[in-house]
Amino acid sequence: MNTKKILSICISAVLSVSLLAGCGGKSDSGNAGNSSKDSSKQTYAFIAKDVQNPYMKKVYEGFEKACKEINVTPLYKGPESATPEKQIEIINQLIAQNVSGIAIAANDADALQPALKEAMNAGIKVISLDSAVNAESRQTHIQQADPEKIGRGLIQAAHEMVKGEGGIAILSATAQATNQNLWIEWMQKELKEHPDKYGKTPLIKIAYGDDDPTKSTSETQALLTNSDVKVIIAPTTVGMLAAGKVLQDKKSKVLLTGLGLPSEMAPFIEDGTCPWMYLWNPVDIGYLAGFTMDSLKKGEITGVVGNTFKAGSLGEKAVTNAAGGGTEVMLGDPFKFDKNNIAEWKKVY
């Protein structure tokens, strides 16, 4: 991280503390989904990448459900834009509010470390989900699915869609998003390890839409100016929807796959723009995060390898080694959505 970015983040942190002192902790973060304020209950907070992200709202649904089953108060927070600086402001607010736990989908793996370490030093349990913070900044991480299976699977899908002939482009979220970056690493490994298979399906470009619909739209349009691009992989629900709309509007022959919400992507699967895609149940991710948080708070687990706990209706879960360091709790395998099942799943989420 360069000096200017570090300075910017430090200034952001100081300003947020000052605002807490003078303004009672008010910020531009969202409060949708807050439960009734019961002072006798503990509060578990969920910090989204950005407060309006539809995928994040689905994750919070599960988190809220778990909190209600556990009998704690859930709290939904998130910045208006997906930046680490704004997430730091929110973390500082939550420390001042003395919440019992923080679950965060990180906008940067490392930038949040000082604030999250301060939270843990204050006795707050900290976990990441969806997009991980580094191992020093959390007790454990909620992993939605095996990153290797996601990355390799998406490249294999793209190759199959174009019948082994045509360039691949990736439309990711932010350049700092740890989950997308890990999936892209596995995509690149799949290509490198099988040069004969992928000789005619090269990776042409990685674009970043910053999980912003407008920027994701413009980045998709830019990708289409390269006639070698025959398939786009979008490992982000925001990017998937934006790319689907562009391809559909332009009646493009470029195909699309990636990670999308069935309710949003059904029209594009049904008309063939996206032959198939993958995802997991985001509600289950939030639900697992809530029970993981509670097990940490109650001392049933500490976040070390070998810990096991009951995660409500998801059954018993185990803490395992994470590929990027630290530990994680795995939800399960990604699920394939296509014309055969999208009508059913678009009604679910």
State how far the Cα of 93 lies from the Cα of 330, in Å rounded to an integer: 29
Report the share of the chain in percent with pLDDT over 90: 87
The confidence score (pLDDT) of residue 324 equals: 85
Q: SS3 for 165?
A: coil
CA dihedral angle for residue 165, residue 151, residue 342, residue 46, rounded to 10 degrees: -150
Confidence of residue 283 (pLDDT cuts 50, 70, 90): very high
State how far the Cα of 223 lies from the Cα of 128, in Å rounded to an integer: 32
| Contact between residue 37 and residue 280 where contact means Cβ atoms under 8 Å apart | no
pLDDT at 7 over 60: no
State how far the Cα of 313 lies from the Cα of 303, in Å rounded to an integer: 20
Q: SS3 for 189?
A: helix
With tokens 């989900």, the residue in question is: 129
| Contact between residue 95 and residue 125 where contact means Cβ atoms under 8 Å apart | no
pLDDT (tens digit, 9 = 90+) per residue, 109-152? 999 999 999 999 999 999 999 999 999 999 999 999 999 999 99
pLDDT (tens digit, 9 = 90+) per residue, 58-91? 999 999 999 999 999 999 999 999 999 999 999 9
- Quick one: which of 52, 105, 104, 46 has its CA closest to 73? 46
pLDDT at 2 over 50: no
Buried b (16+ CB within 10 A) or exposed e, 218-254: ebbeebbeeeebbbbbbbbbbbbbbbbbbbbeeebeb
Helix (H) or strand (E) holding 75: strand 73-77
The confidence score (pLDDT) of residue 40 equals: 58
pLDDT at 12 over 80: no
pLDDT at 4 over 70: no
The confidence score (pLDDT) of residue 41 equals: 84
For the record, the structure tokens of 337 come out as 């959505």
Residue 349, CB-side half-sphere exposure with 13 Å CA sphere: 20
The confidence score (pLDDT) of residue 39 equals: 40
With tokens 């009951």, the residue in question is: 310
Q: Tell if the pTM clears 0.85, that is, is over it.
A: no
DSSP letter for 99, please.
-
Average pLDDT, the chain: 90
Helix (H) or strand (E) holding 249: helix 237-249
| Partners of 172 in beta bridges | 208
pLDDT (tens digit, 9 = 90+) per residue, 146-171? 999 999 999 999 999 999 999 999 99
pLDDT (tens digit, 9 = 90+) per residue, 187-209? 999 999 999 999 999 999 999 99
State how far the Cα of 131 lies from the Cα of 119, in Å rounded to an integer: 19
